[in-house]
Amino acid sequence: MSIKFGIIGGTGVYDPKILKDTREETLSTRFGTVQVKVGNYNGKEIAFLPRHGAQHSVPPHLINYRANILAMKALGVQKLIATAAVGSLNPAMAPGDFVLVDQFMDFTKNRPLTFYEGGEQGVVHIDLTEPYCRELRGVLKKAAGATGLRVLAGGSYVCTEGPRFETPAEIRMYRILGGDLVGMTSVPEVVLAKEAEICYATVAMVTNFAAGISPTNLTHSEVVETMRQNNHNLRKLVMKTMEIITEERH
């Protein structure tokens, strides 16, 4: 089986609604079993996986990131685009904006972070100078230009453990440290994709200003509602990206 392209859908993206002739594939990995939807778009076979499950039933800290990435790898996926709902710490990144994140800061606390746990797997220290694939970000940027959407190139994603939202004091701290956006899922997903040698990039969609910046208290339904309102734009961006993406990797 060789499906070269994949999409991991974050909050609000449970069905890409762009795939034709879809089928379900069940992948058994050494970390568990994963259901992936496979379909066709513009002559390309694409694998799709909703990160939180089809009904948003898996919280960020309990997602089986390792199984998800190994399932994509087993299908043959070489280029993987993830979507992520994020809060913003940066006044220049407002709800509805898309950001092609290029850095992360890891504030998770209790997640399996690697495929390499010593023993048979060995010990591996991967380079993360460019955590999100530069080439793939370039393709997303080009797609953004073609669609006319407001897509900002570059931003630091602060990954928290969740599932709770942050305190205003935490948000002030992350801002002082240079964070732009806050979310709960990019780590370890981006790290594992790198370990699996899959080109990986994230399209973050700002759903809210973070706690203490937003004039109101945060709710998950606010996040989901903003995602819902902007889903057509996200779909446009993903469709264009899948049209112009190629198999070639450098």
> Binder to ligand HPA among 183, 187, 200, 204 (CB under 6 A)?
183
Residue 170 dihedral angles phi and psi, to the nearest 5°: -65, -45
Q: Does 166 bind ligand HPA (CB under 6 A)?
A: yes
- Helix locations, 92-219, DSSP H: 134-147, 168-176, 186-195
Nearer to ligand HPA, 90 or 207 (CB): 207
152: its two tokens: 């900002």
Nearer to ligand HPA, 68 or 186 (CB): 186
> Binder to ligand HPA among 16, 87, 155, 179 (CB under 6 A)?
87
Q: Does 10 bind ligand HPA (CB under 6 A)?
A: no
What angle (nearest 5°) sits at the alpha carbon of residue 179, between those of residues 83 and 96?
A: 45
Rounded distance between C-alpha atoms, residue 120 and residue 62, angstroms: 25
For residue 116, the minimal CB distance to ligand HPA (Å) is 28
Residue of this chain nearest to ligand HPA (CB atom):
87
Cβ-Cβ contacts under 8 Å for 205 (sequence gap 6 or more): 83, 84, 85, 86, 96, 97, 98, 99, 226, 227, 230, 234
Nearer to ligand HPA, 71 or 184 (CB): 184
Question: One symbol per residue from 211 to 240: x for binding ligand HPA (CB under 6 A), - otherwise; what is it?
Answer: -------x----x-----------------
40 touches 3 (CB < 8 A): no
The one-character DSSP state at 118 is B
Nearer to ligand HPA, 99 or 210 (CB): 210
Q: Does 184 bind ligand HPA (CB under 6 A)?
A: yes
Residues that bind ligand HPA (CB under 6 A): 85-87, 160, 165-166, 182-184, 207-208, 210, 218, 223
